[in-house]
Structure 1
Amino acid sequence: MSTPGPGGQGLQLTPFRGLRYVAERVGSLAAVTSPPYDVVVRPDGLRELETADPYNIVRLILPQADTPADRHRQAAETLRRWQADGVLAPDPEPALYVYEQRDAQTLQRGLIGALRLSPREEGVVLPHEEVMPHVVEDRAALMRATAANLEPLLLAYRGNGDVSGAAHVIERTVREKPLLSTTTEDGFDHHLWRLTDPADLVEIAADLRRHRALIADGHHRWATYLRLREEQREPGPWDFGLVLLVDTTRYPLRVRAIHRLLRRLPPVDALAGAGRAFRVRAVDGPLPHALDALAEATAAPGAGNAFLLAGDGRFHLLDRPDERLLAHTVPEERPEAWRTLDATVLHSVLLEHLWNVPDAPEHISYIHDAAAVVEQAERLGGTAVLMHPVCEDIVHELARQGIVMPHKSTSFGPKPATGLVLRSLTLG
């Protein structure tokens, strides 16, 4: 997205003093990193991160205690203790950071910095999903307690397609020795470089002010940034939020689905209800084969919406929804691109109309990994609803119109590793 908002300022990415792990104080940089907080959903995954290293970042982003207030207080105390003990230390001067992620199939490069939080009406940063208020409240309480941005949002913008401006600085910088390097267990290599040269910073700033960005990952954290900024009476560090900016013209992101775990809905009841409005067919496993069947169903001409249900050791494909029911249950005032989204149909038709499942944490969990959602459904006796990814062009189209999709409609990636660089709001 290369058109700035009506205010004409575009993206304003500011250097900050990164708070980083001291390599000599931890087992390894890989052992202290974590996926973003909302990707760590399984208890066994949380325990694995906690035991990987006593200083794993998950102890800050997902602290464990009996009450929310205790969790947030514990995270703040942990952060202060790690800084006092020299586990985390600030860089000597403000900087932007070039960040690279690479595996056998993917290369992503971008800039980590403190982004000025422009007013909503300027349209410089465009959301594409709704948020859940209870999640925003929890993240806001955690940020207030720690006075820190613990993990960057992922923002996507579309550059000019040539090696100029920010792209020129990035491509030149990655030829130098990185500030840090590590490889996480998912096979991704991570490299970080620090940018402090005034000429580089000026070149980047001049380029970015011509662009606006789409929130690719981190809608709840973005809403939290805006809430906390509005609480402040004077200008200050809360006017900025930690982000990773990626030029998707040069480094396209992957778009994946986020699946639903219906914790209290048995598969037999889910199938009975869905059969009132969808064609229901059993499909063969294992899971990759069943997901292929889902992809084929969504790709067929005029196929409409399709979902894959699991939880009882079998897979069932839902497709060919009843057009009359769609017209009756899906809100009419929204654009056609929104009305036909799988997430829209899932929430309006299946969850609200046929299954009567409230969109509350005790009823629905949002899980990125297909195998994890199936495993949890089978263990709990609930239903896994597996989704097909949304086309990225639809996301951009709706965002430009100011139309937000149902929450947890997309998963853009690769997501930045949490723990490589933090932003303390108490530092210069």
Structure 2
Amino acid sequence: MPKLSPLHVVRYAADGNADAGSADLSSKIAPPYDVLDAGPKAELLAKDAHNIVAVDLPVTPPKTVGPDAAYAEAGALYRQLLSDGVLTRDDQPGVVVYEQAYELNGQTVRRRGLFAGVGVEEFNQPHGIFRHEMTIAGGIGDRTKLMEATSAQLSPIFGIFPDPKKVAVQLLNDICESSDPDYHGTTANDGVAHRCWLVHDPATLDTLSAFFRETDVFIADGHHRYTTALQFAKDHPDLPGAGSCLFVLVAAEDPGMIVLPTHRVVCGLQEFMWSELEAILGADDRCTLGGDPAQTRFALFDPVSGDTVGLETHGDVLAEAFPDKPEVWRTLDVAVLHEWLIQRVLRPSFGGEGEAGGVTFKYTADLDEMKQLAAEEDPAGARLGVVMRGTPLESVMAVSRANEVMPPKSTYFYPKLATGLVINPLD
């Protein structure tokens, strides 16, 4: 079971002073490393040479493994920032309550959680840490080298936990609503406001520790970083902090805990005609094409006519093909799309050569961008847009508990966490 542990938090000091006060760290923080590249990194450093990307993104593009010298330089810079007082380390262990405020559909939304250490363990143990996606070796190699060079975890894993009685939710709300944050910042790329409260009170820490001893934690984002931390703990059993991994933990019941959809553009369809697809789907009693796109499983966008048409399936259309998969996986929108509509309808009729049938995908969370991408001329064949619904959080947790992983781009947890608000020292 995951063990919550306080941290000797490393954070940016206010104007080089050890007391953060109500410091504005906007110029120091950044989006997660894996959504950046050389251009955005340079822009952040042009505004502030001490921005966290100077350490957290030693190699671009992200998830690629660079030369040892790049990581050694990042480690040396991290230690220099500590020595110079740009970064400061709290003597007293604690956690950091974290609020993100953002605009969505014209409304201000707040999501509250906490930065804390969580004891690393293998995935999917009872009252443990669960995953919903696979990892690739390259991403793990890069993070391993950086952790070795810095002896620190620079960016947090995003974890979700169930809190039906709202025990932790109420505690976090009380802290956020009873005082001003100790430090804050705004990420320029998305306009999200990030606010942090340092918590050292032993009674509060005990309450949180007791709560998490009986609580599952589901990784929303950061599977590579967690896998890296797990291996690092195995490789460094004598390092005091190696068994603890930096998390931001947010309750599934928090009103700001939102999963947005990731829309698709299906590319490379050969001799594709919308009228032929309509005829194929119209003759299939497993589905109905038509109806309100907002009320169906997903909707298809025809870039030629500009029409968006709802598509609903009937029953468990993947039961025969995947009898060994749990029903919660077989009935995911993304699984039905990729394993039924694309694999068993589109590819046999409009696919090309090769194992993938010539079909490729583009992904975007922006509906207008999806339509634009679908309408662009495609020399490899026609394009078809797919409007998705957000995957319910309950489904993410149920698939994880069933020890399954979800198809790629099944979830888009918005907004992203900021890097640079809390660093977890491992030495």
Query: Which TM class, normalised by the smaller chain length?
Result: 0.7 to 0.9
- Residue 207 of structure 2 corresponds to which residue in structure 1? 203
Please state if 1:179 is matched with 2:182: yes
After superposition, the Cα gap between the structure-2 partners of 1:174 and 1:117, relative to the gap in structure 1 and judged at 3 Å, is farther
- Give me the whole-angstrom Cα distance separating, in 1, the residues matched to 2:272 and 2:153: 43
2:132 match: 128
* TM-score normalised according to structure 1 size: 0.74
Q: Give the counterpart of 2:324 among 330, 333, 336.
A: 333
The letter of the residue matching 1:62 is L
The secondary structure found in structure 2 opposite 1:102 is strand
Shift of 1:230: 2.6
Map of 1:163-174 to 2, 5 A cutoff? Answer: 164=167, 167-168=170-171, 170-172=173-175, 174=177
Whole-Å Cα distance in 1 between the matches of residues 354 and 70 of structure 2? 29
Is residue 38 from structure 1 mapped to residue 34 from structure 2 by the alignment?
yes
Distance 2:291 2:28 in 1: 36
1:33 Cα shift?
Answer: 1.4
Amino acid at match of 1:38: D
Deviation readout 1:78-118 (Å, 9 max, x if unpaired) = 32232233222212321111111123521111111111113
User: Residue 343 of structure 1: CA displacement?
Assistant: 3.4
- 2:338 and 2:132 map into 1 onto residues whose CA distance is 16
Q: CA-to-partner distance for each residue in 1:328-374, whole Å, 9 max, x for gaps?
A: 99644212332343433565564895467899xxx878665667778
Q: State the shift of 1:223 in Å.
A: 2.0
Structure 1 segment 274-423 matched on structure 2, within 5 A:
278-279=277-278, 297=293, 299-300=295-296, 306=299, 331-344=322-335, 348=339, 350=342, 354=351, 388=388, 389-423=390-424
Structure 2 distance, partners of 1:58, 1:196, is 28
CA gap 1:200/1:115 in 2 versus in 1, 3 angstroms: same
AA paired with 2:115? I
Q: Equivalent residue of 1:68, what SS?
A: coil
Superposed CA deviations along residues 139-158 of structure 1, whole A, max 9, x for unmatched, are 22332232221111111112
CA 317–424 in structure 1, closer or farther in 2 if over 3 Å, else same: farther
Contact 2:26/2:187 (8 A) holds in 1: yes
Quick check: 1:58 aligned with 2:53? yes
Change (3 A) 1:270 1:50: farther
| Partner residue in 1 for 2:80 | 81
User: For residues 75 and 7 of structure 2, what CA distance do their matches in structure 1 show?
Assistant: 20
Q: TM-score, normalised by structure 2?
A: 0.74
Q: Is the CA contact (8 Å cut-off) linking 2:123 and 2:131 kept in structure 1?
A: no
Structure 2: distance between partners of 1:38 and 1:232? 25
One-letter amino acid of the structure 2 residue matched with residue 54 of structure 1: A
Identity %: 27
Instruction: Label 1:273 to 1:74 Cα distance change in 2 as closer, same or farther (>3 A).
Output: farther
Q: Which one has the bigger helix percentage?
A: 1
Let me know the Cα RMSD of the aligned residues.
4.2
1:303-336 deviations in whole A, cap 9, x for unaligned? x5556588xx99786875999xx86996442123
Matched letter for residue 406 of structure 2? M
Q: Give the 3 Å change call, closer, same or farther, for CA 421–401 of structure 1 in structure 2.
A: same
The residue type paired with residue 5 of structure 2 is: T
1:254 aligned residue: 258
Q: How far does residue 392 in structure 1 lie from its aligned partner after superposition?
A: 2.2
Instruction: Give the letter aligned to residue 89 of structure 2.
Output: P
Give structure 2 stretches of 5+ with no counterpart. Answer: 18-22, 280-289
Match of 2:283 in 1: none
Please tell me whether the aligned partners of residues 399 and 405 of structure 2 are also in contact (alpha carbons under 8 angstroms). Answer: yes
Does the 8 Å CA contact 2:318/2:330 hold for their aligned counterparts? no
The CA deviation string for residues 50-100 of structure 1, in whole angstroms up to 9 with x for no partner, is: 333222222333224696124433432332232233222212321111111
Alignment equivalent of 2:115, drawn from 109, 112, 115: 112
State how far apart, in whole Å, the 1-side matches of 2:325 and 2:385 are: 24
Structure number with larger C-alpha Rg: 2
Mark the runs of 5 or more structure 1 residues left unpaired by the alignment.
1-9, 281-293
> Does the CA contact (< 8 Å) of 1:129 and 1:408 recur in 2?
no
What corresponds to 1:137 in structure 2?
141
Q: How does 1:204-283 map to 2 (within 5 A)?
A: 204-234=208-238, 236-258=240-262, 267=267, 269-270=268-269, 272=271, 278-279=277-278
Counterparts in 2 of 1:179 and 1:189: CA distance versus 1, 3 Å: same
Give the 3-state SS of the residue equivalent to 1:31 in structure 2.
coil
Alpha-carbon distance in structure 2 between the residues aligned to 1:58 and 1:343: 33
Preserved CA contact (<8 Å) 1:97 1:193: yes
**Amino acid aligned to 1:40:** L
Distance, in Å, in 2 between the alignment partners of 1:57 and 1:379 is 40
Matched, 1:425 2:426: yes
Q: Contact 2:326/2:402 (CA < 8 Å) preserved in 1?
A: no
Residue 254 (structure 1) shift: 0.8
8 Å Cα contact 2:10/2:424 also seen in 1: yes
Asked if structure 2 preserves the Cα contact closer than 8 Å seen for 1:99 and 1:110, the reply is yes
The secondary structure found in structure 2 opposite 1:215 is: strand
